Amino acid sequence: MTDDAHPPETKLTTTKRRWAADGKFLTGRIVRPEDERLPPGQHLVKDWPVLDLGQQPIIRTESWRLDITGHVEHPLSLDWATFKALPQSHRLSDMHCVTTWSRYDNRWQGVTTRDLLDQVMPKAEASHVMLTSYDGYTTNMPLADFASEDAILATEWEGQPIGRTHGGPMRLVVPHLYLWKSAKWLTRIDFREGDMPGFWERNGYHMRGDPWREERYSDD
């Protein structure tokens, strides 16, 4: 999947683009993560709602591949066996969706982004990453966010392999940003010098997406 591949227009994309234009769900209240566990404008759920762009690719582990490219000392192209042979870790974290739901205490297993960074060694000029999924979805983030202590390339949730609807066999989880930054069905991580928008960022959403600062939509 290349940067020129774009997911199809769906009812969800049309609706969420309108939300961005209207500033839907914004409360204007800013809190710091250490002061409050639930970000402003969010409500708790017990299930895990399914949201995607209308495609849920079928990805078999026999053909799965993760490419790490761009400004790194050691570009990699990992198949499933090689990826699973990397150090495996567990993380416990909350997740917050820009559509206002949050879920506490999610248990993940996979490869931490820090362990991946130890393998590829980003160059000094690498400041951001662009993430690309099997369905053509893209999203961006600063390298510092990608390298956060609780970020993980997750293959299991609550002790079970992550299902296709939630981005299996592997998805990114960056808990301190809105969930649209945690790309499902991840297939490429490109380390870049400078930032550029991904799919939702081109459609009115914030370039970073900090839930506690309510960075739902673009400032432009």
Identify the pLDDT of residue 56.
Answer: 86
Average pLDDT over the chain, rounded to an integer: 89
User: 31 or 179: whose pLDDT is higher?
Assistant: 179
> What are the chain's domains?
87-215 (3.90.420.10)
Q: What is the pLDDT of residue 57?
A: 92
Predicted TM-score (pTM) of the model is 0.85
Task: For 40-87, write each residue's pLDDT tens digit.
Answer: 999 999 999 887 666 789 999 999 999 999 999 999 999 999 999 999
Q: What is the pLDDT of residues 91-105, one digit of tens each?
A: 999 999 999 999 999
Q: Provide DSSP, the chain.
A: --TT--PPP-HHHHHHHHHHHHTTT-------TTT-SSPTT-EE-SS-----SS------TTT-EEEEEESBSS-EEEEHHHHHTSPPEEEEEEEE-TTSEEEEEEEEEEEEHHHHHHHH-B-TT--EEEEEETTS-EEEEEHHHHT-TT-EEEEEETTEEPPGGGTTT-EEE-TTS-GGGS-SSEEEEEEESS----HHHHTTB-SS--GGGT--B---
Ramachandran region of residue 99, left (φ > 0), alpha (ψ -120 to 50) or beta? alpha
Q: How many CA atoms lie within 13 A of 147 on its CB side?
A: 14
